[in-house]
Chains A and B, each alone.
Chain A
Amino acid sequence: MPFLVLFLGMYLAPICVAVYKSLFVMHSQGLGLSGGPSTVFKPLANYTRALGDSAFIGAILRVLLFGVVQVPVMLGLATLFALVIDAVSARVRAAFRFAAFLPYVVPGVVAAMIWSLLYSPNPNASSPFFSNGLTLWSVANVVTWTWTGYNMLIIYSALTAIPSEIIEAARVDGASGWRIAWHVKLPMVRSSLILTTVFSIIGTAQLYNEPSILQAVSGGAISSTYTPVMAANNAIHVPDFQYAAALSVILALVVGALSLGFFKLVNRRGPAWG
């Protein structure tokens, strides 16, 4: 009997979590599709408007470009650093892990403030970091700074899990350190690379904190609809809740499609996932 009681508790708690989550999605869909009590039922109006909203589409394309460049650069650096600290003494490794991890503890908002002051020390003069297509990469730099060390730690943990006999065997066969890193270690941490890639895609989709802080010093280079989440937030402040909800739904669908697409891609190349 006590088992049954607890079982129900254990069973209910995660169900509540799941229902709790699902409510929000349903709610946003409900608002997006049917509108609030005082609005008219026009199921597609918000969606056709969103698809014709050049600012919103532009934001999505901008963030896609951001992801295509920033995620590989960041994870490439994280992997490189993970391989390097795998090859140095324990003391150097501990010191570097600490340094690389510190930015992760800095809130995105504060990181953006620090970098904004580095980018434009004089708030009255325009900064070269927010000119001519550099703006997006100035934002990307803040994100890279924050998350590289975190990803490095995840990849490094996977490296420590490689059985040392495998490395020794490769060494006995005469493989150099770089070759071992490339041909033995990298394939064996594939699953952690997949994980960090998926998390980075998700992180890119929700880009908000950094650009919204940098907006203040960007001299207009960062608009209030610079990223999709900023666009949705902007719609709340209009206020146009129904439209904001529709934007969120579209964004969720795009993210879902991208994540699924990525899983399909890595599954086709090999069996490591799952």
Chain B
Amino acid sequence: MGMSAIRSRPGSAGPKIRTGADPLSRAVRVRRLALAVILIGAALYFLAPLWWLFVAASRSLGNQSGTGWWFSGFHLFANLKALVDEQNGVFLHWVANSLLYSGVGAAGATLLSAMAGYALAKYRFRFREALFTAILAAVLVPKMLLATPLYLLFSAVHLTGNRLAFFLPSLVSPFGVYLCRIFAAGAVPDEIIEAARMDGAGELAIFFRIAVRMMTPALVTVFLFNVVDIWNNYLLPTLVLKDSQWPVTVGLGNWFSTKGAVELSNYVIIGAFASLIPLAAVFVFFQRYWRTDLTAGAVK
């Protein structure tokens, strides 16, 4: 009975079934051609830079910045090895930092969002609406704008150069709370919570055993949002972290802007390519659970 509530959500309708085949009139052919041109042109726009990066990262070491859209020899693996060896493995160190920040930070942010969203949806307490309004307002505050105040705050309490200075802000996701509240309100029926209470289940047990399971699609989406957000963050870690704590974006950015080091510019390209692999892997793994319709339904 709970599932019907999920299915009837406006955002979760399945793919439409195309009925009947259009007769191949002239108009239809023109229309098909137009669609094909748009799709192929757009796909080229999206993929060409990534293809170029792949080709450039595969050229023999030292020739990365040359132009050209096709391979001349395939040296990707040798290049990756050289990249890993460069400056005593600093690149892998950055990647490990990024994985740590993104993995732990996104998991924590998702858990906090789930609890807060569930509480906002299912419990009545004073200031609930005021709190929700505050969270909504926080969604509209650009994160990048907070970087400067955060830096000032952390330097006041001597937390700059501490990984916490990047972790703590990463745990807060107003948009995640917002999505979780909307989803919890629709997907976790009050009757089930009541029934579990009758059976003597504690509130924590109800949350972790029942609510979390029903909210899973929303939680995966919130998790992925946060993984990308944290992985891509650049300004805040630049400000608050020491170089041994840098994530891969800051490390590469530093290599990139170190001008005069011709050798480095080759490693920037190889590193840029390598840095995309972990996030792409995460998305290939989670793609089927990724629910953009949650975002689309968020304003209803």
Contacts and interface: CB of A to CB of B under 8 A. Distances in A.
B66 A256 contact: no
Interface stretch (A43-51, A64-72, A198-206): A198-206
Interface residues of A, number: 102
Main secondary structure of the interface of A (DSSP, over half): helix
B53 interface: yes
B252 A161 contact: no
A105 B116 contact: no
B202 A24 contact: no
A108 B144 CA distance: 13
A108 B234 contact: yes
A117 B269 contact: yes
A110 B252 contact: yes
Contact of B142 (A177, A195, A206): A206
Contacts of A77: 42
Contact of A115 (B49, B67, B147, B232): B49
B275 A121 contact: no
A210 B291 CA distance: 27
Contact of A13 (B116, B202, B228): B116
B256 A195 contact: no
A192 B294 CA distance: 11
Interface string B126-157: 00000100110010111111111111110110
A265 interface: no
Instruction: Select the residue from A17, A108, A113, A205 with max chain B CB neighbours within 10 A.
Output: A17
Contacts of B239: 233, 236
Given A13-B112, A110-B252, A145 B45 contact: yes
Interface string A172-216: 000001000000000001011011001000110110110011011
B13 to A, nearest CB: 5
Contacts of A17: 112, 116, 135, 172, 174, 177
A233 B235 contact: yes
A144 B238 CA distance: 24
A81 B228 CA distance: 23
Contact of A31 (B66, B152, B202): B152
A110 B249 contact: yes
Nearest to B201: A2
B259 A216 contact: yes
Nearest to A150: B292
Contacts of B145: 205-206, 229, 248, 251-252, 255
A84 B115 CA distance: 39
A85 B116 CA distance: 36
A40 interface: no
A107 interface: yes
A14 B46 contact: no
B65 interface: yes
Given A24-B153, A115-B49, A259 B300 contact: no
A161 B249 contact: no
B293 A84 contact: no
6 contacts: A13-B112, A21-B172, A102-B47, A109-B253, A113-B252, A236-B239
Interface of B: 10-18, 31, 35, 38-39, 42-43, 45-47, 49-50, 52-53, 56, 65-67, 112, 115-116, 118-120, 123, 125, 131, 134-135, 138, 140-153, 155-156, 168, 172, 174, 177, 197, 202-204, 207, 228, 231-232, 234-235, 239, 249, 252-253, 256-257, 259, 265, 268-269, 272, 275-276, 279-280, 283, 291-293, 295-300
Q: Which 5 A-B pairs have the closest CB atoms?
A: A206-B144, A10-B119, A28-B149, A157-B293, A6-B203
